[in-house]
Structure 1
Amino acid sequence: MNYYLGVDGGGSKTLAVVSDEQGRIVGRGMSGCGNHQVGVELARRSIREAAAAALSQAGLVKEQIEFAMFGLAGADREADFRILRPMMAELEFPAHDIVCDTVIGLRAGTRQQDGVVVVCGSGTNCYGVNKQGEALQCGGFGYNYGDFGGGGGLAIEVFRTVIRAWEGREQPTLLTGAVLQTLGYPSVERMFHDFLDHGKEIPRYLAKVLFQVAEHDETARRILQRQGEELGLAASTVIHKLGMAQDSFDLVLVGSVLTRGDSRYVIPYIENIVKTAAPGCSLRRLAMEPAAGAVLLAMERAGHQVAELVYERLDDGLSVKEVEA
């Protein structure tokens, strides 16, 4: 029996899984941040811990892994790979490769070789590959480099909107009460000065209050609408540059904002833009953990043909609901 390691190293967690050649998950391990852009040593430790835990649960040693695939947040440019190649080589798997986490997200969400993925988790990103195998990434580098939103960015939008409403530069919003309750402050004024006086960072979980009040708050809906439009714009750019306008393919939606938030407030705006760019595109919310895509890529890199049964078993073992449980 051949075994494969798939690792999803994200900004908030690292998930490593070991699968046999039939798609049965025989080991898994979880650790912290696997993004070297947050911290090289932190990412090294998290990836090592998650991989070791998965191997331990599987009762295997690394020499028994035919191929290890690492899908890592922050693996965007050659400058990143100069850091990541020796880091992954230190793990001493017989054969391995590194791709951006957008790549494994796309592979986990579609059974075609081509497609597009938009990510909206801690940050945002977009990636696509056409029928000729040409690939393109759009975004993934933060607000200063053209992106909008993601968990961190949306949390900032929530916080600053509450401040602006308090000052009178925005209309009153239900976000105010939700933020004060979430953070435990009696007033915006107290919150304002406490954050300034102590240099506090805005917590990413504030993004969740957008969905809590969106049904009854226009301001929250407007922020979520912009998030959808920005993701749709990134996807349509990739579609245009890769010449995919006339193709039929899946647009895979990845990240907690898209897969666990209320789809009414973001996804229709993605769809409106993308369907204009490529009418044959079908939107699919990712139902499996991206680590499943890392496993599939590992199998393919090792020359193993992925059968229908493999997809079914990975779906059983690595559904988002199963991993959360």
Structure 2
Amino acid sequence: MTYYLGIDGGGSKTLAVVTDGAGHVLGRGVSGCGNHQLGAELADGSIRAAIQAAMEQANVNHEDIRFTAFGLAGADREADFHILRPMIAAMGFEHHHIVCDTVIGLRAGTKQPDGVVIICGSGTNCYGVNALGEEMQCGGFGYSFGDFGGGADLAVEAFRAVIRAWDGREKSTALTGPMLHMLGFETVEEMFHAYLDDYKRAPHTLAKLLFEVADSDEAARKILQRQGTELGISASAVIRRLNMGNDKFDLVMVGSVLTRGDSRFIAPYIEEQVKAVAPNCTLRVLQMEPVAGALLLAMEKSGQRVEAAVYDNLNADLAVKERNAEWALD
């Protein structure tokens, strides 16, 4: 039997999955951070642990795997691949391929060879490939290098909104009560001094609160609107640079903020920016876990033709979990 291995290594979670050639999931393994930019040794250990768990569950060995595809956060520049190529080669898979996690997100979300993907998980990223095979990445390097948002930044924005309402710079916000409850404080003043004195940073889980109160809270809606606009600007930049304005393609939305948050508060602002430059573009929320894209890529790299049944089988086992059910910001 033919087996494939796909890995999705993110900033907070690494997922490895083994399937047969029909796309039936036979084993999966989950571990921690798989982004080498947050620590090469940490990422190496996490990727290996996830792979080992998946292979043990599937009862397969290295020589059984026909092809392995690694979709890794932080695989952005040649400097990154200088680290990743020997790291991955040392894992012992003869036939393998390494791409950025943006690539597997796009591959999991559309059946076309061209398209654009925006990721909003712990951070943000955008990638596109046109009908000629030309590629471009925009962002993925943090606020100082032009990005805005993702769970980490959104948590800080929510925290700031509560502080600014407390000290009178903004009107009151419905974020205050849920945030105090989540962080275990009685008052904003107590929270303010605890975080200031101990040099704490707002935990990324605070991002979830923005969606919980957005229906009734202007401050939360404004933060989410800005996130949507910024993601739309990134996608628009990729579309223009790749001359895709007149093409018909999918814009795939990936990452916990987009797949497990309420899209009403972000997607319209993405669409507003994108439709202005690519009116034939269709927005799609990712329906399968990004690791499905790694598996599809592994199959294609090995020479296998991916039939419709493979998509159906992968979707049956790797569908994105119910919205808001899980908030690991991968």
TM-score range, shorter chain: over 0.9
Q: Look up the match of 1:139.
A: 139
Q: Look up the match of 1:15.
A: 15
The residue type equivalent to 2:158 in the other structure is V
Return the alpha-carbon distance in structure 2 between the equivalents of residues 216 and 320 of structure 1.
27
Q: Secondary structure at the match of 1:168?
A: coil
Q: Secondary structure at the match of 1:279?
A: coil
> CA-to-partner distance for each residue in 1:98-146, whole Å, 9 max, x for gaps?
1000000000000000000000011000000000000000000011111
For residue 178 of structure 1, report the CA deviation from its aligned partner. Answer: 2.0
Q: Look up the match of 1:236.
A: 236
For residue 22 of structure 1, report the CA deviation from its aligned partner. Answer: 1.1
Q: Look up the match of 1:278.
A: 278
The residue type equivalent to 2:77 in the other structure is R
Q: Look up the match of 1:162.
A: 162
Q: Look up the match of 2:171.
A: 171
The residue type equivalent to 2:82 in the other structure is R
The residue type equivalent to 1:92 in the other structure is G
The residue type equivalent to 2:180 in the other structure is L
The residue type equivalent to 1:315 in the other structure is N
Q: Look up the match of 2:290.
A: 290
Q: Secondary structure at the match of 1:28?
A: strand
Q: Look up the match of 2:64.
A: 64
Q: Is 1:313 aligned to 2:313, yes or no?
A: yes
Return the alpha-carbon distance in structure 1 between the equivalents of residues 194 and 102 of structure 2.
37
Return the alpha-carbon distance in structure 2 between the equivalents of residues 27 and 174 of structure 1.
43
Structure 1 gap ranges (5+): none
Q: How does 1:1-325 map to 2 (within 5 A)?
A: 1-321=1-321
For residue 321 of structure 1, report the CA deviation from its aligned partner. Answer: 2.5
Return the alpha-carbon distance in structure 1 between the equivalents of residues 4 and 212 of structure 2.
40
Return the alpha-carbon distance in structure 2 between the equivalents of residues 190 and 150 of structure 1.
27
> CA-to-partner distance for each residue in 1:36-71, whole Å, 9 max, x for gaps?
111211111110010111111111101111111000
- Cα RMSD (Å) of the superposition? 1.2
For residue 77 of structure 1, report the CA deviation from its aligned partner. Answer: 0.8
Identity %: 65
Return the alpha-carbon distance in structure 2 between the equivalents of residues 241 and 26 of structure 1.
40
Return the alpha-carbon distance in structure 1 between the equivalents of residues 286 and 116 of structure 2.
12
For residue 167 of structure 1, report the CA deviation from its aligned partner. Answer: 1.7
Q: Secondary structure at the match of 2:214?
A: helix
- Higher helix fraction: Structure 1 or Structure 2? 1
Return the alpha-carbon distance in structure 2 between the equivalents of residues 271 and 303 of structure 1.
36
TM-score normalised by the chain length of structure 1: 0.98
TM-score normalised by the chain length of structure 2: 0.96
Asked if structure 1 preserves the Cα contact closer than 8 Å seen for 2:128 and 2:239, the reply is: yes
Q: Secondary structure at the match of 2:295?
A: helix
